[in-house]
Amino acid sequence: MNQIAAHYQDGHIVKGHTNDFLPAKETFHLAPVDSPAGVKPVEVRVAELKALFFVKNFTGDPQHTRSQEFDPGKPPAGRKMRVVFKDGEIMVGTTQGYQKERPGFFLIPADPQSNNERCFVVTSATQEVAFL
């Protein structure tokens, strides 16, 4: 079961758990973290998302300042890239499977202290994707 934060293109965020997200599928199910036990998970349409963040925990570290820099002592796995979302947010990380024709791709944040283990970026929510 994955802990996720689903960031929608309209700006709202739903945190919860999923066990059926697949990059090639158009939908998956999310059990919101604050829903009572026994409530059916909600269906999420990937096309409505900006990105799906796979998180270490739901609270994160409010004191953490996000870095867009790679750890110089640790070579990154995959190709370095910068993503600019349509809402102006910028993410820097690495990917191993970006193809602009696909509906999305995984990005591992450059920041080693990030609460995000990885992120599934929805291609239609991006303004610019560039290899560094």
Digit-coded pLDDT (tens) for 75-106: 888 999 999 999 999 999 999 989 989 999 99
Whole-prediction pTM: 0.94
If one counts the domains in the chain, the total is 1
Q: What is the CATH number of the domain that holds 48?
A: 2.30.30.100
Domain of residue 23, residue span: 2-131
- 68, 76 Cβ separation under 8 angstroms: no
Residue 34 reports pLDDT greater than 90: no
pLDDT confidence of residue 123 = 96
Tokens of 16: 């919860």
Residue 3 reports pLDDT greater than 90: yes
- 110, 94 Cβ separation under 8 angstroms: yes
